[in-house]
Amino acid sequence: MLAAERKLRIVEYVRQYNTATVNALAREFKVHEATIRRDLMEIEQEGTLKRTHGGVIVEQWTHDEPSFSERSTHNLEQKMRIGKMAASLVEDGDHIIIDSGTTTLHIARNLVHRSDITVITNDMNVAAELRDAPRIKVILTGGELYPHSYMLNGMFTDHVLRSLHTLKAFIGTPALHPQHGLMHPEAQLVPAKQGMIRAAREIIVVTDDTKIGKVSLHTVAPNSAIHTLITGKEAAEEELKPFRDSGMTIYTV
């Protein structure tokens, strides 16, 4: 059997069973385990399947985001840890962007007692968290209100972001893939995230471990554009290694 045909059949096999070990695939296709490992490496690079320790699984896709209320309670304790770590990277005197999201909201909650910081955000929840912080200046981007998440988005948001220059941007995401980078299922939300990335000198992605390795429809930015990743200690090292290899600084909390 030619290698190309074997790889196609491996993909069909894994899609049928959702997961497979290297040993099982070697027995199924009557080849050495080293051959299977080489095949799986090439298949993963094509974005079809995802390798795990000792095997492979079907690539996990994110087709849409749950509602804000659903997301706000999912992995809550991990998001609180991530928010606290992210806030510790903010220095007095910084001007920063905080993206909309349930993880980024916890960054704001950890900045309330800080001084001399300017926060630009497209999230009314983030702004509300900081409304009583006397030593923090809050700038809302403006834009069309998304009532289900209190996010501002659209032409006005994009226009404001094009005029900004900040030190740091804290970006949330529903999918971060080792080959395809920062991803999102909704096309209309991509330009604002790209505007935040263009506006900042340092890009810090904050996301819980369940988003690592997932694929979605649109690439927002390649991994080379991301300087720092903050995620939970629940993330497996084998999942984080490709991001470390791309040059990212990674904090697991």
List pLDDT tens digits, range 82-108.
999 999 999 999 999 999 999 999 999
150 in the same domain as 79:
yes
Residues with pLDDT less than 50, the chain? none
222: number of Cβ within 10 Å: 12
pTM: 0.78
84 found inside a domain: yes
63 found inside a domain: no
146 in the same domain as 48:
no
For residues 122 and 146, the answer to whether their CB atoms sit within 8 Å is no
- Among residues 175, 171, 188, the alpha carbon closest in space to that of 229 is found at 171
128 in the same domain as 35:
no
What integer pLDDT is reported at residue 66 of this predicted model?
Answer: 60
240 in the same domain as 130:
yes
Longest dimension (CA), the chain: 70
What integer pLDDT is reported at residue 72 of this predicted model?
Answer: 59
Return the SS3 of 93. Answer: coil
166 in the same domain as 121:
yes
8 found inside a domain: yes
Task: Give the strand pairing for 218-221 and 181-184.
Answer: antiparallel
Give CA 43 to chain center in angstroms. 22
Spatial distance between the Cα atoms of 73 and 146, rounded to a whole number of angstroms: 19
Residues whose CB is less than 8 angstroms from the CB of residue 245 and which lie 6 or more positions away in sequence, other chains included: none
pLDDT digits (tens, 9 = 90+) for 146-164: 988 899 999 999 999 999 9
250: number of Cβ within 10 Å: 15
The CATH number for 212's domain is 3.40.50.1360
